[in-house]
Amino acid sequence: MDLGGNEAGGSQNVWDFPVYGLAPVWFKTVSTHVRGLGVMLTLIRTLGRVLRTINARHEVIVSAGSIGTPQLLLNSGIGDATELKRLGIPAFHNLPDVGKYFRDHASMTFPYARTAQGALPPLDRAAALQQWQTSKTGPFSDRGIGSHQLLFARIAANSSVWKNHNDPAAGPNVPHMELLPVNADVPGGFNICGALLVIAQPFSSTQTPFVQGEDPFSTFAHVNILGGTVGVRSSNPFDDPLVNPAYLAEQVDLDLYAEAIRLSKKFFTGPNWSTILGAPQYPDPDILSRADWEDAMRNEVSSGIHGVGGAIMSPRGSDYGVVDPDLKVKGLRGLRVVDASVMPHIPDGHTAVPTYIIAERASDLILQDWSLPV
């Protein structure tokens, strides 16, 4: 994106704060004074041993994702001032919610043993390669796990789980769980039959309904469930971040998972699977004691690769959150966040399209702010 900035030293190169690739990039100082037409922010970029300061005349847009963005803000001195001080990072702007409210869907594999009849035939790799090269068909046209379906489902309205919990789904037709049937051999002879995600997550009890006609970006609920966190372990921006996704943190997460496993079991015990699938290899809530099952689940679940939050949006003037509805960092001029980290709640579905929507909205806001031609 060319914001028409210029580099320190006066050359007229396009401002190129890279939001691509894996190059560790950070900015150390953010100054908010007005210079010329707009706000000047100072970036210090370290790439290998090169250290450069890049000045942006209009604004800086951070799009490093729900882990990268909070990490970058914290290393830049934007975060909880007390915590930053403890880490030896000079606090530039006290914003305690940077790195808070990180959410991800928990995911587990759902393996069954194979019957002899269900064994996958050995793959003739040379023939498969030739088939791919001549007709772009065959085993190599698949990404290798035979996963072409996504099944979304709701836990039944008469499930006993609702005796203890309110329905956390965002609406009456919104799924609680997602099952991805896959067909892959893994060492040990298991057939990974599915990946199972519980995608409905506890919502704030103080959520405000969306009022028609209001800007949806300003009507998000106050979140009172903290979720996970993204932090930094030192003042060195090249250190790996500290991520606590807080999977299964709430009792409802576990209870929904038990129901989701029962529903998936029902699917895989259908008649079409009986000749292919043998014994289940996942923690079964109907076989293990509750304590053993919970232990097994805590070892089993991992990322649903849908991390959001960490720099969440909240209404202007509120006492929590990181960015305002125009995606600008609260209390600063010239710094905007445009990525999944601004989502205050995790969607009950995949996260790429919601991120595109934020990016589309951001492009309108930026055009509007700078009176740029469409």
Ligand X SMILES: Cc1cc2nc3c(=O)[nH]c(=O)nc-3n(C[C@H](O)[C@H](O)[C@H](O)COP(=O)(O)OP(=O)(O)OC[C@H]3O[C@@H](n4cnc5c(N)ncnc54)[C@H](O)[C@@H]3O)c2cc1C
Contacting residues toward ligand X, per CB under 6 A: 18-26, 63-66, 68, 72, 305-306, 339-340, 350-353, 355
For ligand X, the closer CB: 59 or 255 = 59
CB contact at 8 A, 18 and 56: no
- Please choose, from the candidates 157, 160, 194, the residue with its C-alpha nearest in 3D space to the C-alpha of residue 273: 194
Burial of 87 (0-12, 13-18, 19+ CB in 10 A): middle
- Per-residue tokens: 81: 């001032």
Write the CB contacts of 3 (distance below 8 Å, at least 6 apart in sequence). Answer: 15, 56, 57, 58, 59, 61, 370
Nearest distance in Å: CB 63, ligand X:
5
Nearest distance in Å: CB 21, ligand X:
6
Nearest distance in Å: CB 18, ligand X:
5
Distance CA 55, CA 32 (A): 12
Nearest distance in Å: CB 22, ligand X:
5
Burial of 214 (0-12, 13-18, 19+ CB in 10 A): exposed
For ligand X, the closer CB: 25 or 277 = 25
Distance CA 9, CA 18 (A): 19
For ligand X, the closer CB: 138 or 354 = 354
Nearest distance in Å: CB 67, ligand X:
7
For ligand X, the closer CB: 186 or 353 = 353
Distance CA 166, CA 109 (A): 26
For ligand X, the closer CB: 98 or 252 = 98
For ligand X, the closer CB: 285 or 347 = 347
Nearest distance in Å: CB 339, ligand X:
3
Write the CB contacts of 338 (distance below 8 Å, at least 6 apart in sequence). Answer: 61, 62, 63, 327, 358, 359, 362
